[in-house]
Amino acid sequence: MNIRFKGILLLISIVAVLLAACGSNNDQGAPDSADEGVSPEETGELVVYSARNERFVQDLLEKFMDDTGIKVSALHGTDPLQIEAEANNVQADIFISNDLGALGYLDAQGYLQGSEPEGMDIIPEQFRSADNAYFAISARSRGFIYNKDLITEEEMPKSIEDLFNAEWADVPNGYAITRGGNGGMIGNVSALRYEWGDEKTADWIAAIQENAAGIYEGHGDIRKAVGAGEHAFGLVNNYYFHQQLLEPTDNNVGFIYPDQEDGEMGAIANAAGIGNVKNGPNEDNAILFIEWLLESENQVKFVGESLEVLINSDLEAEYPEEVQEQIVNFEDLNVQDMPITELGNYFQGTKELIEESGLDLELR
């Protein structure tokens, strides 16, 4: 595997509190509110908390139920801190996260537990914790989706640092970002804290808050707005670009992977994966789920509609033709070099820095 590709996890640790996922409760018995938790039965069940969008997760869980006969109770849209809040009354068996930062934090605090499941060797060592308490399945990168009818590739910013400049407020219809509490934005800021330190990062947050023409709930909103010509470009994860390409209209979009020149920090990347919750009520079924997920076809299923890139480079996701042509191999990208030891270290403090710098965590 190319050294740069291996470097993804060295920066997928972009640590952040993930509030991503706007899923709703399913019909498997999940409660109406994340605060209520899940009350599992003692046998034949698996309780999954997920920070990912429900439509990226539910098909996977249904396949597990069909394959094993084990009932899954799923709670979608879960803040990773709920695992911490329930430490004295553990409800979940598995936590599915949008980034390894949150998983690294939970593991460092003792809320996850290691195991030796069969098949773990299919995940490269740099993409899992030493004791297999958590591991990555799919990766993504930050960048700029842009509307080709409003702005050319040559006219686009080529670096995250470019957004310090107020001139980008003057592009046709301006540019878009997410609210400060969005998981992707938190991860982005955590990466910048590692790269630049807090003072420069705070100045960058203040600049984008001031200069952005639109601040949205999530990246799905941004991709649609850019596709419709409401903004010239937006800061998103690359798989939202892939998703916009599949729209029947408003799909004349391109994507810029920033900071690709020599001496620049490289694109900010992240990964989605799962953690084995310590002392979960159905520990044996949690191991069964992990071993099931490590099967090749289920790793591919994990990517599903998200259109992310698989961590396991020996596997290929089944992308639609329009997307396949735009998939960029991480081996060919310059990516940020963030050591694996930084996993979890920037989980705390990032939301506070964002809010103190003037970008609201929630839409007002």
Beta-strand pair 253-256/94-97: unpaired
Asked whether the predicted pLDDT for residue 303 surpasses 50, the reply is: yes
Is 90 exceeded by the pLDDT of residue 308? no
CA-CA distance, 270 to 239, in Å (whole number)? 12
Residue-wise pLDDT tens digits, 89-118: 999 999 999 878 889 889 989 999 999 999
Mean pLDDT of 146-162: 98
End-to-end CA distance of the chain: 45
The SS3 assignment for 237 reads strand
Residue 177: closest CA among 240, 113, 245 = 240
Compute the residue count for the chain: 364
- Residue with tokens 């010239």, as numbered in its chain: 232
* Arithmetic mean of pLDDT, 274-301: 96
What is the C-alpha separation between 217 and 12, in angstroms, rounded?
23
Give alpha helix (H) positions in 258-319. Answer: 283-293, 296-303
CA 176/CA 12 separation, integer angstroms: 24
Contact 5, 57 (CB under 8 A): no
The per-residue pLDDT for 11 is 40
pLDDT at 364: 81
- Summary mean pLDDT of the chain: 86
**Pair of tokens at residue 248:** 């029947």
> DSSP 3-state assignment of 323?
helix
Task: Give the C-alpha distances (Å, rounded to integers) separating 127 from 102, 120, 199, 327, 347.
Answer: 14, 11, 30, 21, 18
The rounded distance, in Å, linking the Cα atoms of 111 and 106 is 5
Least confident of 31-35, 202-206, 238-242, 274-278: 31-35
**Weakest-pLDDT range from 15-19, 68-72, 85-89:** 15-19
CA nearest 106: which of 137, 127, 79, 72? 79
Q: Domains in the chain, start-ordered, CATH in brackets?
A: 3-139+271-323 (3.40.190.10), 140-268+348-356 (3.40.190.10)
Where does residue 106 rank: exposed (0-12), middle (13-18), buried (19+ CB within 10 A)? buried
The pLDDT of residue 6 is 40
For the chain, give the percent of residues with pLDDT over 70.
87
Give the Cα separation of 363 and 146 in Å (integer): 23
Given a cut of 90, is residue 291 above it in pLDDT? yes
What average pLDDT does range 120-128 have in this prediction?
A: 85
Give the pLDDT score at 34.
37
pTM for the full predicted model: 0.79
pLDDT of residue 341: 53
- Output b/e per residue, 318-337; b: 16+ Cβ within 10 A: ebeeebeeeeeebeebbbbe
Q: Which residues pair with 270 in a beta bridge?
A: 140
